[in-house]
Amino acid sequence: MVKKSKKSEVNSDLLQQLDIRVGTVVEAKVFAEARKPAYRMLIDFGELGILKSSAQITDFYKPTDLKGKQVVAVVNFPPKQIANLKSECLVLGIETPDGVVLLQPSHPVNNGFNIA
């Protein structure tokens, strides 16, 4: 028996509108001003430059673990104000009962490469 998603169906046009890319974390710090535990990160997306993000990934990662790690993020959402940070991209992860696990490429790739 195949279970259907609890979310409404979307067509592939919606997915094509998302700009999802790989970047490398160049800086990660505790984001003390955030309401929920989070890190403030600077992520290098190659030709797109370095973008700021806030990520609630404190259950499995420490800031020192994140520097140099490649992550996957949506880079074409409008900036979102989170406390005193204007987040410029949405880092993607997998929600588990114990916290969020980052989506990452299994092999190193160039910063800024598109997710297909």
Q: Tell me: the pLDDT tens digits for 21-70?
A: 999 999 999 999 999 999 999 999 999 999 999 999 999 999 999 999 99
Residue 95 lies in a domain: yes
Whole domain around residue 27: which residue ranges? Answer: 18-102
Q: Is residue 111 part of a domain?
A: no
User: Which position has the higher pLDDT, 69 or 13?
Assistant: 69
Q: What is the CATH number of the domain that holds 51?
A: 2.40.50.140
- Cβ(43)–Cβ(51) below 8 Å: yes
What digits encode the pLDDT tens for the residues 57-86? 999 999 999 999 999 999 999 999 999 999
The reply to whether 45 falls in a domain is yes
pTM of the model: 0.91
How many domains does one find in the chain? 1
- Quick check: is 108 in a domain? no
98 pLDDT more than 90: yes
Q: Is 8 part of a structural domain of the chain?
A: no
Phi-psi label, residue 35: left if phi above 0, alpha if psi -120 to 50, beta otherwise: alpha
